[in-house]
């Protein structure tokens, strides 16, 4: 049955080469923890992607209850945390995942750095990776405000002041993020919500796609 | 259309690609060492690593529920702390030549240089050597950066008052009480109200609702001061009778 469906689609779309591009390749010995235990350092990139997928899924479920508005944001998070079935688990996974993804990405960056894997011909992939690092930091910063509790508000005030101290364009960045030249309030919350769930994920998906296409094209760097 | 299955489409407008590289994977014997097929052999191993990781992740989630402080209120005093991975910048901004008039150095210039150096690493370290020991400068710079990040994070953690930090944002459950009651009258006539607030939600001192203390314990604190010493001894100036009323009143302030 499955084979018949596959053949039906393949006859029309010729999907076998796509499948080969994605999955049909050899994994060299030096990155395989089954052969060299120390090769577990090559797992950090995959684990970063694993947590990213969990963040996307848990985030999608969180938006089913979360209300991005100053009156109800905190109440909706409180309800989610204390009343919704497994709400505490879903929010907990999103909360801890946000930290773990930074840890794993940091370790992945160090592995690539200390194995010298960013050298020719992989310069572009390294730069895209640093871009992903920046986007993740941005996701962490914007997500910190969304529960709209005391630490969220006051930490974001400091963060926006730091952004405003950028020479020449600081004030523009501040107004773009906060929605107002002086007030950190209702506008800021909706903007951070939009940035956190639409803008940055869109950039992230593009960069991740580039990252993965490049690693498939170039292959993993050879043994040291 | 010569590739794949030689398909023909109705109204096909695509340009024919005759010079494409053959999309056939190399034979396994062309790879040195013990290579392994990605699908499904290697992916199964990655799956197992992911499963072990997920167990740890879920244990963390269950053991430590994510924190939620009281709702944001810009009128209340609060000293914020950033998320842990920003703590090194937070600490950097406390030093003389990275704060105040030099704020731009600590907040923009130093993180900016570090980020740009990371981004442009392939063009700063252009030797073909890959072993860390054969490119001493990049290795040394990275170790130095890691050491300073670790040191700054450590410094910010040991210099932060975690107890006070936790207390300032705690969720306050409002407790309804009668402002005409004897206990509240005695409370508002005393100096207690100066620090603990007219609604007993706190000010310079902590809030007095849901303390979980008995009347005797409250009396003890009013006379002898708090255990931490934040509230000194001898602040109660009134009569013992009023103190008893105040203590019983505070003990009764519990939300359901």
The full DSSP string for chain A is: -HHHHHHHHHHHH--HHHHHHHH--EEPGGG-TTT-GGGGGGGHHHHHHHHHHHHHHHHHHHTTT---STTTHHHHHHHHHHTSTTHHHHHHHHHHHHHHHHHHHHHHHHHHHHTTTTSTT-HHHHHHHHHHHHHHHHHHHHHHHTT-BHHHHHHHHHHHHHHHTSTTTHHHHHHHHHSSSS--SHHHHHHHHHIIIIIHHHHHHHHHHHHHHHHHHH-S----
| Residues 137-166 (A) with a CB less than 8 A from some CB of B | 137, 140, 144, 147-155, 157-159, 162, 165-166
Is the pLDDT at B2 greater than 50, yes or no? no
Nearest chain B alpha carbon to A129? B119
Higher pLDDT, B122 or B28: B122
User: How far does the CA of residue A221 sit from the closest CA of chain B (Å)?
Assistant: 10
Alpha-carbon distance values, A168 to A8, A163, A171, A173, B113 (Å): 59, 11, 8, 10, 17
Residues 6 or more apart in contact with residue A193 via CB below 8 angstroms: A68, A142, A146
Q: Are A14 and B5 a contacting pair at CB < 8 A?
A: yes
Q: How would you write the pLDDT of chain A (224 residues) with one tens digit per residue?
A: 999 999 999 888 888 888 878 888 888 888 988 888 999 999 999 999 999 999 999 999 999 999 999 999 999 999 999 999 999 999 999 999 999 999 999 999 999 999 999 998 899 999 999 999 999 999 999 999 999 999 999 999 999 999 999 999 999 999 999 999 999 999 999 999 999 999 999 999 999 999 999 998 888 888 88
User: How far does the CA of residue A201 sit from the closest CA of chain B (Å)?
Assistant: 20
Instruction: Give residue B148's pLDDT.
Output: 96
Q: Which overall architecture, per CATH, does domain B84-169 show?
A: Orthogonal Bundle (1.10)
Q: Is A220 on the interface with B (CB under 8 A)?
A: no
Question: What angle separates helix B136-158 from helix A87-114, to the nearest 10 degrees?
Answer: 150
Distance in angstroms (rounded) separating the CA atoms of residues B94 and B105: 12
Share the mean pLDDT of chain B: 85
Residue A27 φ/ψ, nearest 5 degrees = -100, 120
Chosen from A153, A165, A174 to mutate, greatest number of chain B CBs within 10 A: A153
Question: Which residue among B53, B58, B130 places its CB closest to the CB of A47?
Answer: B53
Q: Report the run of H or E that residue B166 belongs to, with start and end.
A: helix B162-169
Distance in angstroms (rounded) separating the CA atoms of residues B97 and A94: 37
Q: Is A17 on the interface with B (CB under 8 A)?
A: yes
Nearest to B125 by CA among A105, A115, A39, A214: A115
Cis peptide before A109 (omega within 30 of 0): no
Q: Is A10 on the interface with B (CB under 8 A)?
A: yes
Q: Are B38 and A120 a contacting pair at CB < 8 A?
A: no
Q: Are B25 and A20 a contacting pair at CB < 8 A?
A: yes
Question: Which residue among A24, A28, A144 places its CB closest to the CB of B83?
Answer: A144
Which chain A residues are closer than 8 Å to B108 by Cβ? 162, 165-167
The Cβ of residue B198 has, within 10 Å, a number of other Cβ atoms equal to 12
Q: Are B49 and A40 a contacting pair at CB < 8 A?
A: yes
Instruction: Give residue A62's pLDDT.
Output: 97
Rg of chain B over CA atoms, in angstroms?
33
Domains B84-169 and B182-251 share a fold: no
Chosen from A19, A20, A27 to mutate, greatest number of chain B CBs within 10 A: A27
Question: Which residue among A25, A89, A133 places its CB closest to the CB of B61?
Answer: A89
At B220-255, the pLDDT tens digits run: 888 888 877 788 888 888 888 888 888 888 888 877
Nearest chain A alpha carbon to B146? A110
Instruction: Give residue B185's pLDDT.
Output: 85
User: Mean pLDDT throughout B48-70?
Assistant: 95
Rg of chain A over CA atoms, in angstroms?
21
Chosen from A74, A151, A152, A221 to mutate, greatest number of chain B CBs within 10 A: A151
Q: Which overall architecture, per CATH, does domain B182-251 show?
A: Orthogonal Bundle (1.10)
Instruction: Give residue B5's pLDDT.
Output: 59
At B89-122, the pLDDT tens digits run: 999 999 999 888 898 999 999 999 999 999 999 9
Q: Is A50 on the interface with B (CB under 8 A)?
A: yes
User: How far does the CA of residue A151 sit from the closest CA of chain B (Å)?
Assistant: 6
Please give the structure tokens belonging to residue A1: 């049955």
Rounded to whole angstroms, the maximal C-alpha distance in chain A is: 64
At B5-22, the pLDDT tens digits run: 566 666 666 656 555 555
Question: Which residue among B66, B70, B130 places its CB closest to the CB of A150?
Answer: B70
**Residue-by-residue DSSP string for A2-48:** HHHHHHHHHHHH--HHHHHHHH--EEPGGG-TTT-GGGGGGGHHHHH
* Ranges B45-54, B58-67, B197-206: which has the least confidence: B197-206
Q: Where are the domains of chain B?
A: 30-66, 84-169, 182-251
- In the structure, what pLDDT confidence band is assigned to residue B1 with cuts at 50, 70 and 90? very low
Q: Is A167 on the interface with B (CB under 8 A)?
A: yes
User: How far does the CA of residue B222 sit from the closest CA of chain A (Å)?
Assistant: 29
Q: Are B211 and B192 in contact (CB under 8 A)?
A: no
CB pairs under 8 A between A and B: 208
Q: Are A134 and B115 a contacting pair at CB < 8 A?
A: yes
Instruction: Give residue B10's pLDDT.
Output: 67
């Amino acid at each position: 049955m499955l084979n018949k469906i596959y053949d039906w689609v393949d006859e029309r779309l010729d999907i076998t080469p796509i499948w080969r591009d994605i999955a049909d390749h050899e994994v060299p010995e030096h990155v395989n923890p089954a052969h060299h235990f120390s090769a577990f350092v090559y797992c950090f990139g995959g684990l970063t992607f694993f947590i990213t997928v969990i963040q996307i899924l848990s985030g999608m479920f969180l938006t089913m209850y979360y209300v991005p508005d100053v009156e109800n944001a905190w109440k909706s998070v409180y309800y989610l945390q204390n009343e919704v079935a497994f709400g505490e688990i879903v929010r907990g996974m999103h909360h801890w995942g946000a930290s773990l993804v930074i840890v794993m990405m940091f370790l992945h960056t160090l592995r690539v750095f200390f194995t010298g894997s960013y050298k020719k011909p992989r310069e572009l992939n390294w730069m895209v990776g640093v871009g992903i690092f920046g986007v993740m930091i941005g996701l962490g910063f914007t997500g910190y405000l969304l529960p709209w509790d005391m630490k969220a508000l006051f930490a974001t005030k400091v963060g926006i002041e730091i952004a405003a101290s950028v020479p020449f364009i600081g004030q523009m960045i501040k107004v773009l993020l906060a929605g107002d030249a002086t007030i950190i309030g209702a506008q800021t919350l909706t903007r951070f919500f939009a940035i956190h769930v639409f803008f940055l994920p869109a950039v992230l998906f593009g960069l991740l796609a580039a990252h993965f296409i490049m690693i498939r094209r170039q292959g993993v760097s050879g043994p040291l | 259309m010569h590739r794949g299955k030689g398909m023909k489409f109705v109204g096909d407008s695509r340009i024919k690609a005759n010079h494409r590289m053959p999309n056939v994977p190399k034979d396994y014997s062309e790879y040195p060492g013990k290579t392994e097929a990605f699908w499904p052999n290697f992916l199964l191993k990655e799956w197992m690593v992911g499963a072990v990781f997920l167990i740890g992740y879920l244990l963390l989630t269950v053991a430590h529920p994510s924190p939620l402080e009281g709702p944001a209120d810009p009128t209340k005093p609060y000293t914020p702390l950033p998320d842990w991975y920003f703590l090194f910048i937070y600490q950097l901004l406390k030093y003389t030549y990275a704060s105040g008039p030099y704020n731009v150095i600590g907040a923009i210039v130093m993180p900016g240089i570090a980020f740009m150096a990371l981004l442009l690493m392939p063009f700063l370290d252009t030797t073909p050597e890959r072993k860390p020991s054969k490119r001493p400068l990049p290795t040394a710079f990275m170790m130095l950066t890691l050491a300073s990040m670790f040191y700054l994070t450590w410094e910010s953690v040991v210099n932060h008052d975690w107890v006070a930090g936790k207390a300032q944002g705690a969720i306050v459950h409002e407790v309804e009480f009668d402002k005409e009651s004897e206990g509240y009258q005695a409370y508002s006539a005393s100096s207690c109200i100066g620090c603990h607030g007219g609604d007993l939600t706190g000010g310079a001192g902590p809030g007095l609702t849901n303390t979980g203390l008995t009347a005797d314990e409250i009396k003890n604190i009013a006379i002898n001061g708090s255990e931490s010493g934040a509230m000194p001894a001898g602040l109660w100036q009134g009569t013992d009778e009023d103190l008893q009323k105040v203590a019983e009143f505070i003990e009764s302030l519990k939300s359901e």
